[in-house]
Copies of this chain bind each other. A is one copy, B any other.
């Protein structure tokens, strides 16, 4: 079993010409005669020759590979982003290596090291919830490997950043609740260490303030998944403190809330309006379907890849200032809120 991937040499030998001629013929170098080109190409096709990308990488010090580090692949938002990255990258001649940190900082560090070892041309990251020390990212930057952060970014690093305007999206969602008549509004929040959670919270608070709606500390409850969303509502019911509007940090939390409300015969949106965040699969499944903020992971992925590749391919990298791209969000209005 001569597991012999066909090389340029094999073609050269069979044709009795040199390897460099084959190489040139294959890439339509003007010096080569049409006759040789045809011969070479025909044989290459017949033998199903595929260039060895590894050899190309080594000799050009360019791998045409982009590395990704995300907390969890199984998560609608992240897999949308990955999908967007993959699509843009493939269309532009790059492959994509994927790694996940599982929200564990040590794994994130390891991922950085393997990606550097693999000599990826650039890295796209959304960090773990617990990453506070950015040394492992700085090491990469020091090696002149460009990085793009999305969604969960890191402050003080020389990288591009792709985010949504969490503050504004939250502000607008909250304002929509107000406009549709809600007077007592709660927020189911995420961990405050995450900038995005904090920003959504502040957008919420400011919208209340600007519209002269009272803000109650007890109506801010940490609840960023289905179970916690359920518990949060149960707690509010028990405290006899049910609001008439809720803005949640993500769709799952909203889905949990809706679930319990219905089981208690509390009508959505007649008694309680709800707005989620993400526009994932669940938002069409809940009953009523969920009004939510479209986060557009796919676009975010495409944009991340676009900016990263631009930076990889730009000669005078130092010239372009680092961008802080804001992907537009959109309030998707369904039936968990009253109409205007």
Contacts and interface: CB of A to CB of B under 8 A. Distances in A.
Interface string A140-151: 001110000000
A250 interface: no
A82 interface: yes
Interface string A82-103: 1100110010000111111000
Nearest to A95: B97
A337 interface: no
A273 B254 CA distance: 26
Contacts of A117: 50-53
A320 interface: no
A17 B172 CA distance: 65
A75 B255 CA distance: 19
A76 B73 contact: no
A284 B226 contact: yes
Contact of A259 (B54, B282, B287): B287
Contacts of A58: 52, 54-55, 58
A267 interface: no
Interface centre among A95, A113, A317 (most CB of B within 10 A): A95
B48 A54 contact: no
B95 A118 contact: yes
Which label, helix, strand, loop or mixed, suits the secondary structure of the A interface? helix
A79 interface: yes
19 contacts: A1-B144, A5-B116, A48-B142, A51-B117, A52-B117, A54-B63, A72-B83, A73-B86, A75-B79, A76-B281, A79-B79, A83-B100, A86-B98, A90-B110, A90-B114, A226-B284, A263-B287, A281-B282, A287-B287
Interface of A: 1, 3, 5, 48, 50-55, 57-58, 61, 63, 65, 72-76, 79-80, 82-83, 86-87, 90, 95-100, 110, 113-114, 116-119, 139, 142-144, 226, 252, 255, 259, 262-263, 281-282, 284-287, 298, 317-318
